[in-house]
Amino acid sequence: MSHINPIGKRIIPKNNVLLTYLPKQLSAEEISQHIADAIAQTDASSIKDMGKVIAVAKSVMQGKADMSLVSKEIKEKLSAAG
């Protein structure tokens, strides 16, 4: 979406321009799958293993997902498991 400034020139909002240079963000399903893979890869069974899972997940998802949300989901899954 573009806008017209007072001079009559078409302008593009900055966030649209920046988005073209950022990596594609992962969907919620992709994030859940990567978390499940990281849990399986590290043989995590409780919240005590959270650091190992985050390290693996971060290596795959850094810059492609909000890591605070990833961390929250990992904590929820490990709390339910252990």
How far apart, in whole angstroms, are the C-alpha atoms of residue 82 and residue 80? 6
How far apart, in whole angstroms, are the C-alpha atoms of residue 78 and residue 73? 9
Give the H/E segment covering residue 45.
none
Neighbours of 32 (CB within 10 A): 14
- The structural domains of the chain, with segments of one domain joined by +, span 26-81
How far apart, in whole angstroms, are the C-alpha atoms of residue 28 and residue 67? 12
The whole model's pTM is what?
0.74
Q: Domain spanning 26-81 has what CATH number?
A: 1.10.10.410
Give the pLDDT confidence of 24-66 residue by residue, as tens digits: 889 999 999 999 999 999 999 999 999 999 999 999 999 999 9
Q: Tell me, what amino acid is at 19?
A: L
Residues facing 62 on adjacent strands:
65
On whether the CB atoms of residues 77 and 35 are closer than 8 A, the answer is yes
pLDDT band, very low/low/confident/very high, at 5 (cuts 50, 70, 90)? very low
